[in-house]
Amino acid sequence: MTTSSSQPNEGKPRDATYWAQPVSRLKVSGVPSEAINLNVDGRRVMSPLQGFGQMWQKNYRIRLAGTKSIPAEVIKTWKENFQKFWPPGNRFYAPLTSISPGEVAVLNLSGPGGIKLSTGIMVIYADDESFTFMTPEGHMFSGWITFSAHTEDSHTVAQAQVLIRANDPLYEIAFRMGGSRQEDQFWVQTLTSLAAHFGAEGEVEMQATCVDPKLQWSQAKNIWHNAAIRTVLNTPVRLARSLFRRNAINTR
Amino acid sequence: MLQAKVITNVRKMSDKASIVDIHGEVNAAAENSLMSAFNQASASHARAVVLNFRGLEYMNSSGIGLLVTLLIRANRQGQKVMATGLSDHYRQIFELTRLNEAIHIYDTEAQALAAANAM
């Protein structure tokens, strides 16, 4: 048996600059006035271990056939134009300093029936060939999504990989009743747009694995932070504020 | 494709605990090596598997994902996963990703083994 109290890895590790520093609560700043900025400030980040629903790992990948761009170029473009590749109706309010470790972004997502959902993400990891977002309390999912690019058979392959659980019972029901398929379509569209940007066409390959079929009932309380419910409940307040602002401008 | 740059070594310490020494890089390419070491450590029905990160040189977010899937497998088998040998930097990553809430971290192997044997 080996026992030692000396500090391991005394030199600075190679990945040190790629990781964000731990935060107890998220702090968001520099969000444009048109954004619905709810459910991010003060929230804790959630790993797949803190969620409620079944744990899923899903890989979406597309071969960028014909492009000469190397993985680092693809990731640089992806980081700089993240919003551009998203399906219409969804907004990613990028951090001012681009996608780098520790930055927090606000998301305004389209839900069924035109409902808007405000939530966010924190960039927990970013290097030249990948970057990872972690979700906050109230987001549909608790977990991580990693965007990466690599070379395979002399082609660049772009990939999005999620490791998630639905955050609460309501989201789990939604996930099983079409939310999962909607999530798949979201990333298929994103990867297709990314490929089109590089002049590549191709099919997005998808692979889904249920890592943990169990529900974590101890996390059912996460529903308290449910961003969909909170955004809907906040709608009258936002409308009143907007009317008040408009009236104030008109009376000047 | 990424090439695995990780070496794992399994040590059976008692009927209750095995240690997996991890040297090198923990990223997506480390999956086979890490899972095979975990299976080996679990083969003797150890109730606790201690991951020794003293030789860890690099870890990315895919590596953290691997640890989560390993943890889920252990939970399913009724095993505990413990960690030791983490530098301040990797402790911070465990804190950031909230892995420290599910994997108990010990300063030394001796402390981890004492906890495992007391189970």
pLDDT of A188: 97
> Is residue A21, in this structure, part of any structural domain at all?
no
Could you tell me the CA-to-CA distances from A51 to A5, A166, A174, B101, B105 in Å, in that order?
A: 35, 6, 15, 13, 21
Mean pLDDT of chain B: 94
Run of H or E residues at A77: helix A71-80
Residue A59, beta-bridge partner list: A161, A207
| Residue to substitute from A47, A58, A75, A154, interface B, most B β-carbons within 10 A | A47
Indicate which CATH number applies to the domain containing A68.
3.30.530.20
Is A124 among the domain residues?
Answer: yes
Q: Would you give the end-to-end CA distance of chain A in angstroms?
A: 79
Number of domains in chain B: 1
B101/A46 touch (CB, cutoff 8 Å), yes or no: no
Is the separation of the CB atoms in B7 and B36 below 8 Å? no
pLDDT surpasses 60 at B105: yes
Do the domain assignments include residue B1? no
The verdict on a CB contact (< 8 Å) between B1 and A150 is: yes
Q: What is the pLDDT of residues B22-75, one digit of tens each?
A: 999 999 999 999 999 999 999 878 899 999 999 999 999 999 999 999 999 999
**Mean pLDDT confidence for A184-213:** 96
pLDDT at A236 over 60: yes
Residues of A in contact with B93 (CB under 8 A): 19
Residue B112: inside a domain = yes
DSSP B77: T
Interatomic CA distance for residues B49 and A47, integer angstroms: 21
- The encoded tokens of residue A126 equal 């970013």
ipTM over 0.90: yes
Domain contains A228: no
Q: In this complex, how many residue pairs, one in chain A and one in chain B, have their CB atoms less than 8 Å apart?
A: 106
Q: What are phi and psi of B49, to 5 degrees?
A: -115, 120
Distance CA A45, CA A205 (A): 29
Dihedral sign, CA of B58, B61, B64, B65?
negative
Residue A19 pLDDT class (50, 70, 90 cuts): very high
A26 inside domain: no
Cβ atoms of A169 and A220 within 8 Å: the answer is: yes
For residues B6 and A9, give the distance between their C-alpha atoms in angstroms, rounded to a whole number. 15
Structure tokens at A121: 């993400």
Residue B37: inside a domain, yes or no? yes
Output the pLDDT for position A251: 72
> What is the length of chain A?
252
Helix count and strand count (H, E) for chain B: 4, 5
pLDDT of amino acid A4 = 38
Residue A148 is part of which domain span?
Answer: 45-213
How far is CA A234 from its chain centroid? 22
Q: Is the pLDDT of residue B80 over 90?
A: yes
- The predicted pLDDT at position A235 comes to 87
Residue A115 CA: distances (Å) to CA of A227, B10, B53: 11, 52, 46
Interface touch A125/B61, C-beta < 8 Å? yes
A25 vs B contacts (CB less than 8 Å): none
Query: Which of A63-72, A80-89, A213-222, A242-251 comes out lowest in average pLDDT?
Result: A242-251
Number of domains in chain A: 1
Residue A85 falls inside a structural domain: yes
What pLDDT band is residue A11 in, cutting at 50, 70 and 90? Answer: low
What's the full length of chain B, in residues?
119
Q: Are B93 and B100 a contacting pair, CB within 8 Å?
A: no
Q: Domain range holding B24?
A: 6-117
**Chain B residue numbers touching A153 (CB-CB < 8 A):** none
* A157-167 b/e (C-beta count within 10 Å ≥ 16 → b): bbbbbbbbbbb
Assess if residue B26 is contained within a domain: yes
Do the bridges between strand A155-166 and strand B80-84 make them parallel or antiparallel, or are there none, so unpaired? Answer: unpaired
Chain-chain contact of B89 with A13 (C-beta, under 8 angstroms): yes
How would residue A6 be classed by pLDDT, with cut points 50, 70 and 90?
very low
pLDDT in tens, A155-195: 999 999 999 999 999 999 999 999 999 999 999 999 999 99
Q: Is residue A12 part of a domain?
A: no
Q: What is the pLDDT of residue A238?
A: 80
Q: Is residue B30 part of a domain?
A: yes
A57 interfaces chain B, CB cutoff of 8 Å: yes
We report the CATH number of the domain holding residue B25 as 3.30.750.24
Q: Contacts of residue B70 in chain A, CB cutoff 8 Å? A: none
pLDDT value for B48? 96
Residue A118 has pLDDT above 90, yes or no: yes
Contacts of A50 in chain B (CB under 8 A): 98, 101
Res A9 pLDDT > 50: no
Task: Please tell me the predicted confidence (pLDDT) of residue A10.
Answer: 54
Q: How confident is the model at residue B107 (pLDDT cuts 50, 70, 90)?
A: very high
Does some domain include residue A248? Answer: no
Q: Does A114 touch chain B (CB under 8 A)?
A: no
Q: Give CA–CA dist A78/A121, Å, rounded.
A: 16
